[in-house]
Amino acid sequence: MEKNSILGSPWRVALLRRLDTVLIVFELVLSGVFLSLSYLTGSLYLKGIGIGLVIAWVTSAIAYFFKRKLVKP
């Protein structure tokens, strides 16, 4: 029998290797969900969460671009 990795199955390992990209996409999707819910329900609380996630998404994307050196300082 093969011994399983401490990280688990291969799809988890693939996600962990691209964790920065996965988190940026996750923040973008969550911000869209919360902003959509806020417009449907009229809740300012959900709109605030959505805007906060948009801010987190933008800062994460900027950090990712600096990490990948796509933006020359």
The model's pLDDT over 17-66, given as tens digits with 9 standing for 90+, comes to 777 788 888 899 999 999 999 999 999 999 999 999 999 999 988 888 88
pTM above 0.75, yes or no: no
Q: Is residue 25 part of a domain?
A: yes
Q: Is residue 71 part of a domain?
A: no
Q: Which residue did the predictor score with more confidence, 66 or 72? A: 66
Can you give the chain as a three-state secondary structure string? Answer: CCCCCCCCCHHHHHHHHCHHHHHHHHHHHHHHHHHHHHHHHCCHHHHHHHHHHHHHHHHHHHHHHHHCCCCCC
Q: Is residue 38 part of a domain?
A: yes
Number of domains forming the structure of the chain: 1
Q: Is residue 3 part of a domain?
A: no
Task: Grade residue 1 by pLDDT with cuts at 50, 70 and 90.
Answer: very low
The predicted structure's pLDDT at residue 33: 95
Q: Is residue 36 part of a domain?
A: yes
Range of the domain at 54: 19-65
The predicted structure's pLDDT at residue 3: 54
